[in-house]
Copies of this chain bind each other. A is one copy, B any other.
């Protein structure tokens, strides 16, 4: 384990949230977020040789855990700040989550998206009442567009993961999971920018210090794995994966949290992830997106590591284009 990252319960930007912040977040979002169920499958348990507890964030509002963090960040703003609105960059689940959270608070939302984003995603963000600000599809253009909207509005930036309020919000899923499934040996979550895994790790370690905390990452976008291996944050790696929600890179804050609290990051290639996604559809009867299947794929590839253990898995989301499913794919054809 590494040196302590910045840690504080004062909720200042840049500092890791603590358990008190997570409990505050849970109280703050309780009226808006869904307390999602934990589902199980005897056939998946038999297949894995372990006891699996699936925390169904695909059943969260906007169809992903992202609503927890966005909701906490938006409702944590003081009234004067909130009145000037919120700015974010995301064409995915975080953009929709910020849009919905702002609508619920009754404040403006400005979502910067690349001009090549799918029309259906922009429509979803607009349907929640947010203003969509299109820009060229480069990081520099997105940063410039966001800076411009921030300057113009005086609004608050709610980053998808590099924000302790967002991390505290994502952590509330694990707060619930540990109460719903007592005595877990392991908790697993996918990792992209690291907001979900950071929150998962902080909550799990605080409440159950002996628990093992594992991330799961696509082999084709393994910057978090590489960062923890090398002990320094790796950036600039190309991302080549079907998991459209897992292409971001760690921030200094999430890297520091993962270094301190996470026991390892397992990898899964896209074929294994799609097979695991199909198993989740077939056995759990849940629609999950590819990104959500990475932990199960990684677990099934390492049966000895998990044999007989009680494993909590955060199913991160369920948003995908039903007209472009990755079928047919190999079907292991195990009985129900």
Chain A interfacial positions (CB closer than 8 Å to B): 37, 39, 42, 56, 58-59, 61-63, 96, 120, 123-124, 127-128, 278, 281-282, 284-288, 318, 322-323, 325, 327-328, 331, 333-336
Q: Is the CB of B59 within 8 A of A42?
A: no
A285 vs B287: C-alpha distance when bound (angstroms): 5
Give every chain B residue within 8 A of A63 (Cβ-Cβ).
Answer: 285, 336
Residue numbers in B under 8 Å from A128 (CB-CB): 335
CA distance A153 to B128 in the complex (A): 63
Given contacts A59-B39, A281-B322, A327-B325, A335 and B127 within 8 Å (CB-CB) = yes
Closest B residue to A323 by CB, please name it.
B328
10 tightest A-B contacts by CB? A127-B335, A285-B318, A285-B287, A323-B328, A58-B285, A281-B287, A37-B37, A62-B336, A124-B335, A59-B285
9 contacts between A and B (CB under 8 A): A37-B39, A63-B285, A124-B336, A128-B335, A281-B322, A285-B286, A286-B286, A322-B331, A325-B325
Smallest Cβ-Cβ distance to A282: which chain B residue:
B322
Contact of A322 with B333 in the complex, beta carbons under 8 Å: no
Q: Is the CB of A61 within 8 A of B42?
A: yes
Whole-angstrom distance between the Cβ of A270 and the nearest chain B Cβ = 18
CB nearest neighbor in B for A120: B333
Cα separation A334 to B331 with both chains bound (whole Å): 32
A323 to B318, CA, bound (A): 19
Residues of B within 8 A of A61 (CB): 42, 336
Contact A336 B96 (CB under 8 A): yes
- Tell me, in angstroms, the Cα distance from A123 to B42 when the chains sit together: 18
**A221 CB → nearest B CB, Å:** 24
Separation of A325 and B123 alpha carbons in the complex (Å): 25
Chain B nearest CB from A141 CB (Å) reads 27
Interchain CA distance A271-B64 in the complex, whole Å: 29
What is the bound-complex CA distance between A78 and B96, given in angstroms?
A: 57
Whether B335 and A327, one on each chain, are in contact in the complex, defined by CB atoms closer than 8 angstroms, is no
- In the complex, what residues of B have CB within 8 A of residue A120's CB? 333
Which of these, B37, B124, B287, B323, contacts A287 with CB under 8 Å? Answer: B287
CA distance A151 to B42 in the complex (A): 35
Chain B positions within 8 Å of A322 at CB level: 278, 281-282, 327, 331
